Homo-oligomer: A and B are copies of this chain.
Amino acid sequence: MSALQPVLDRLDRDLDASLERLFALLRIKSISTDPDFAAECRRAAEWLVADLKTIGFEASVRDTPGHPMVVAHHDGPAGAPHLLFYGHYDVQPVDPVELWDADPFDPEIKERDGVKIITGRGSSDDKGQLMLFVEACRAWKAEHGSLPCKITLFFEGEEESGSPSLKPFLEQYSEELKADVALVCDTGMWDAETPAICVGLRGLVGEEITIKAADRDLHSGEFGGAAANPIRILSKILADIHDDDGRITIPGFYDGVEETPSQILKSWETLGETAESFLGQVGLSVPSGEKDRSVLELVWARPTAEFNGITGGYTGKGFKTVIAAEARAKVSFRLVHQQDPAEIRAAFRAFVKERLPADCTVEFHEHGGSPAIQLGYDSPFLTKARDALSDEWPKPAVMLAMGGSIPVVGDFQKFLGMESLLVGFALPDDRIHSPNEKYNLESFHKGQRSWARILHALTK
């Protein structure tokens, strides 16, 4: 008999007790962005440390200039991998509190639309999710008297307020925290039957450009037709960035972009997401990106150029026949695979300068840059975790990507040289960050079992 089955059985038996523990954590008002709740944040960290000690973790609260971190270690057998598990114990504010059906800090089990749910702030994001792994460890230890590998738990208390202490902390404790792979539980399933592992996160380059022409605003009657118009110049430059097929024309832009393996594209096709269903959520139906690619490939695995803001001239009510002295745009690029943020930025700036007419100047202002994160689809950690998840849920696990970034994943790579496996059990209707946040009881139960399966798969 495998080491796994008794652990799964124990998780089934202990579900009520594990809910009691989760509820105790959910009752702590650890709102990180509001200084009034700093003591509650510390109390959450201390609660976690005390709980982890009962399992046998060497756990401690670590002070930072902001809210404390929780770090806990447990040894494992020689030769087994070292896993780091990340979650965050802080939560979003609860305003407007009058929109909640019940006290956000007094969790309950309720039934909504025939589904049993755990109510309360943090139930899904992220206390419910971080406790999944803790419960899996607890059950494993109880059954076997040990854990199957060396495990480090790392819980942050500032994720919902920009993680100001994260980078310095990782830098300071890089030796202690570095593991073979990070397990990050802060994402969701594809749907209630289909677990998901996120293997790609697009990077980002942000730029602001200001085109300047005349040394003052001009009257369009007096100078129109002769003087350079910065809005016209800016529009022309922006319009040049995409060709008629939606491809980006900046030379070198696609350097480092890989084609997604066809079996991955096929697995995405089976998800049944169409342009109509994806864009229909926001009143659209026709993809605007590169032609002949599915909407999921466009948002998960292709780079973009987006114009996030533009302004110039008179934008108030009525009309003013002015030729503005300058016009500005905020432009961002989502990066995939090996695209280099610095090279993309330089290529964009060269592209703009090349199109700048005589007399005009351009100013660039940098707004951040980070490369994409891409796990190799054939990484052994990944395939083992995928199979383990597929064993637990009605449908096989899907390897998907995310359009946006999750900073901690980039930081783990940068400061600890460590890849992350993003596995989570939240659902799109969990209302994270909103009133009436919930976590399905099934997510909480099968999520624990899923982590036990992954632990087993990665260490057997």
Which residues of A does B touch, CB under 8 Å? 202, 204, 206, 208, 213-216, 218-229, 231-232, 234-236, 238-240, 242, 275, 278-279, 282-290, 295, 298-299, 302-304, 306-315, 318-324, 327-330, 332, 334, 357-359, 367-368, 402-405
Contacts and interface: CB of A to CB of B under 8 A. Distances in A.
B221 A405 contact: yes
Given A282-B216, A310-B231, A226 B289 contact: yes
Contacts of A204: 221, 321
A307 B222 contact: no
A222 B309 contact: no
B358 A232 contact: no
Contact of A285 (B285, B358, B405): B358
A218 B334 CA distance: 14
Contact of A334 (B208, B221, B278): B221
A219 B302 CA distance: 16
B330 A314 contact: yes
A205 to B, nearest CB: 11
A357 B244 CA distance: 11
The 7 tightest CB contacts between A and B, nearest first, are A221-B404, A215-B283, A239-B239, A309-B313, A319-B367, A235-B238, A231-B307
A319 B225 contact: no
A208 B282 CA distance: 25
A232 B225 contact: no
A208 B308 CA distance: 21
A404 B222 contact: yes
Given A221-B405, A239-B239, A311-B311, A288 B227 contact: yes
A242 B206 CA distance: 29
A407 to B, nearest CB: 12
24 contacts: A206-B321, A218-B282, A219-B404, A220-B306, A220-B334, A223-B282, A223-B299, A224-B304, A225-B287, A225-B290, A227-B284, A228-B286, A231-B310, A232-B238, A232-B288, A235-B238, A235-B239, A236-B242, A239-B240, A286-B357, A309-B312, A314-B330, A319-B367, A321-B332
A320 B282 CA distance: 19
A269 to B, nearest CB: 16
A404 to B, nearest CB: 2
A64 to B, nearest CB: 24
Q: A215, A310, A332, A359: which has the most chain B beta carbons within 10 Å?
A: A310
A308 B332 contact: no
A310 B309 contact: no
Q: A226, A275, A330, A358: which has the most chain B beta carbons within 10 Å?
A: A226
Contact of A309 (B225, B240, B322): B322
A138 to B, nearest CB: 35
Given A206-B319, A232-B242, A282-B214, A225 B307 contact: no
Contacts of A228: 284, 286, 288
A403 B282 contact: no
A229 to B, nearest CB: 6
A403 B225 contact: yes
Contacts of A240: 239
Contact of A225 (B304, B321, B405): B304
A222 B406 CA distance: 12
B357 A213 contact: no
B404 A334 contact: no
Nearest to A290: B225
A447 to B, nearest CB: 23
B299 A308 contact: no
